[in-house]
Structure 1
Amino acid sequence: MRVVTPDISAAQQYTDELENPDTSDDTEFWRKDSSVPRFVAAPSIGRWRWRVCAAISVTALMLLLLIITVSVSHVKFDRKFSTTETNVKNLTDSLLSIITRTNFLEEYGHKMHLDISNLEFDRDTMQSTINDMSDSAQALRDKVSELKCYINKFMNNNTEELCCPGGWLLFSTHCYFFSEDGMPWDGARDECEKKRAKLLIINSRQEKSFVVSKTRPLFYWLGLTDGRTGAWEWLDETPYVHVRSEWMPGQPDDWKKHGLGGGEDCAHLHYDGRYNDDHCSRRYRYICKAHAASI
């Protein structure tokens, strides 16, 4: 009996052929299906990763720029805040200094006010003392003048002779004092009364000629006013008889545009000896008149 040995290689070849049939069409089909996804996916994943990396990079760059900007702004803010804080401190120090000085000035001003009050009181007291001394000195001068007058009368054997105090001028039966300083009309009137005299009242042409010869070309107050009644009168209330030639041209005019308030209520001798009305506050020289036997 012949044993037939199978051809293993043929069988194997057959098996292989069965197990690996020629499925070129199918293989091609699967290769197409598998190749497409592989070909598309790879580039898609790369682009996605590139985009993510780019986005992360841009974001990181923006964050870095933001951090730098915030840091710079913070530094600038700190500087501005520090400067502002310094300015506020300086202003506070200045304000405290001003308050301190103000308090000092208030205290000093109060002290000065007290000192001024004391000075004013001392001044008033001193002025009163000076006035008393002046009155006493005037009385002493009057006594000396009176004594000189008696001596002159005795030396001349003329008991009827009249004489005036030192600094006064004799005319007829009266003594006249011509001041060298100026003052308002009211002050001149009061000063003459202190001398036991009156501000000049002219009673005759001869008297006026004597006075004018001593006053020209200066201004001297007269005892003539219209302030009491609106009509011109002498200080003894004797009405003045108006003579146009005795006044400067166009006077008296009671001029009110001098800016001193009111009109012109007091009369004075002008540079040529004629009369003129003027505001009573003007500081003119003055003439006092007294009876020789009374001073």
Structure 2
Amino acid sequence: MNGQGRVSPGSAAPAEERGCSWLNVWVFLIFALAVKAAFVALCLWLVVPFCHSSDQPSALQQQFSQWECDSAVPQGTDGGWTCCPKGWKRFQGSCYFLSSDTMSWSESAQNCGGMGSQLVVISSKAEQDFLSEQIKQSKEPKPDNFYIGLFAEKEGQWQWVDKTPYNETATFWREGEPNFLTGENCTVMHVHTKPPNNWNDISSSLKNHRICEAAAVIV
């Protein structure tokens, strides 16, 4: 015979003991969910500033850790912020870098590519006006020329670095340019020429400043 207050091995546990067991399970589940939520929030906080649409150059993300963002997003996008690397200028959906040092045209193209960008391709008067204003504001000593992404492999056969078709009616050459002097197969924007017509053809071996362009990052 079992003594009072004792439960045989095959008997059910008291109701209060079963209640405590279920309470422990619920406490554990709530704790686990809270930890998971905190982990997801941490991941989003770390990752979101560097997420961008799949058509953005990944090298741009890899090269820069500091970004400047605003909430003015291009029409038709779902993102809430438009971002450029710190120190770059934004216009519409693009970021622009105006260099303070000088290189040849091929070195300039390579340098832009190393930053996940390209020498600028100018596709509208609005973009031309924006860039003309930016080069006017360049710091002292005042530079003369900025390379852009327009070149000619053969005399007179101009093309853009991204294969955008060359449209002669949408160009901004200085009066009398391009003049096709020997070796003048690349294009610069000339700081001291009144815009918008400030393009000049020069030799690719000359060292000049450069304008790099990359698509803005939408987050």
Q: Find 1:264's aligned residue among 166, 184, 187.
A: 184
Pick aligned residue for 1:239 from 127, 149, 165: 165
2:217 corresponds in structure 1 to 293
What is the 5 A alignment of 1:126-141?
A: none
Q: Which has the higher contact order (CA 8 A, sep 6+)?
A: 2
What corresponds to 2:105 in structure 1? Answer: 185
**Identity between Structure 1 and Structure 2 (%):** 31
Would the alpha carbon gap of residues 221 and 159 (structure 1) be closer, same or farther in structure 2, given more than 3 Å must change?
Answer: same
Could you tell me which residue of structure 1 aligns to residue 65 of structure 2?
143
5+ long unaligned stretches in structure 2:
1-59, 72-77, 137-142
Larger Rg: 1
Q: Within 1, Cα distance between the matches of 2:181 and 2:215?
A: 35
Q: CA deviation at 1:174?
A: 0.7
Name the SS for the 2:65 alignment partner. Answer: helix
User: Is the strand fraction higher in 1 or 2?
Assistant: 2
Q: Do the aligned partners of 1:192 and 1:199 also contact (CA within 8 Å) in 2? A: yes
Contact 1:232 1:239 in 2 (8 A): no
When residues 207 and 245 of structure 1 are mapped into structure 2, their CA distance, relative to the original with a 3 A threshold, is closer
Which whole-Å CA distance do the structure 2 matches of 1:233 and 1:141 have between them? 28
| Residue equivalent to 2:95 | 175
Q: Is the 8 A contact 2:83 2:218 kept in 1?
A: no
Residue by residue, what CA displacement relative to the aligned partner does 1:20-65 show, whole Å, maximum 9, x if unpaired? xxxxxxxxxxxxxxxxxxxxxxxxxxxxxxxxxxxxxxxxxxxxxx
Cα drift, residue 250 of structure 1: 1.7
Q: TM-score, normalised by structure 1?
A: 0.44
Q: Distance in 1 between matches of 2:185 and 2:96?
A: 24
| Contact 2:63–2:115 (8 Å) recurs in 1 | no
Moved over 3 A (4+): 138-141
Residues 221 and 242 of structure 1: CA distance in aligned 2, closer, same or farther (over 3 Å): same
SS of the residue 1:164 aligns to: strand
**How many angstroms apart in 2 are the aligned matches of 1:224 and 1:245?**
10
Aligned to 1:266, what secondary structure does the other structure show? strand
Q: State the AA in 1 paired with 2:160.
A: W
- Change beyond 3 A, Cα 1:204–1:245: closer
Tell me how far apart the structure 2 counterparts of residues 193 and 228 of structure 1 sit (CA, whole Å): 23
So what's the TM-score if we normalise by structure 2?
Answer: 0.58
Q: Which runs of 5+ in 1 are unaligned?
A: 1-137, 257-262
Q: 1:250 is aligned with what amino acid? A: G
Q: How far apart, in 2, do the equivalents of 1:194 and 1:289 lie?
A: 12
Which residue pairs with 1:219 in the alignment? 145
Aligned-partner residue type, residue 183 of structure 1: M
Mapped partners of 2:152, 2:181: distance in 1: 13
Judging changes above 3 Å, is the alpha-carbon distance between structure 1 residues 265 and 144 closer, same or farther for their aligned structure 2 residues? same
Q: Distance in 2 between matches of 1:171 and 1:245?
A: 19
Q: How many equivalent pairs are there?
A: 144
